[in-house]
Amino acid sequence: KNQVEQSPQSLIILEGKNCTLQCNYTVSPFSNLRWYKQDTGRGPVSLTIMTFSENTKSNGRYTATLDADTKQSSLHITASQLSDSASYICVVSDRGSTLGRLYFGRGTQLTVWP
């Protein structure tokens, strides 16, 4: 069964600290993996997208890694800010159809305290 599992479910860190969020998937065949940030009461916003051949991609203070062999991805946030408080969602796309079906994780709820 194609699944996307994220950990931890929730995380609290102090402003300025770093953190790493995990995503494990069983989706096959694999096309790409995306990380989205969803602020409370808003729609998700794309942070990064990685294909099979990419193992790291950065977007400002966000760095995503991908190990396609172990089917794991991580999102590292450097020097956290209060505005980083949000849910971070891992999404994996397969190649099983023309459009590529999307499999969503339940998200990690990050809270940054001052």
- Binding of residue 102 to another protein (CB under 8 A): yes
**Euclidean distance between CA atoms 87 and 42, whole angstroms:** 10
Q: Tell me the per-residue interface mask from 37 to 76 with another protein, x by CB under 8 A, - otherwise.
A: ----xxxxxx--x---------------------------
Closest CA to 93 of 27, 38, 45: 27
C-beta of 16: minimal distance to another protein in Å?
27
Task: List the Cα angle 73/77/82 in 5-degree steps.
Answer: 140
Which residue type, as a one-letter code, is found at position 74?
A: S
Token pair recorded at residue 46: 């794309």
Q: Which is nearer to another protein, 49 or 68 (CB)?
A: 49
Chain residues in the site for another protein (CB under 8 A) = 4, 9, 32, 34, 41-46, 49, 89, 93, 99-100, 102, 104-107, 109
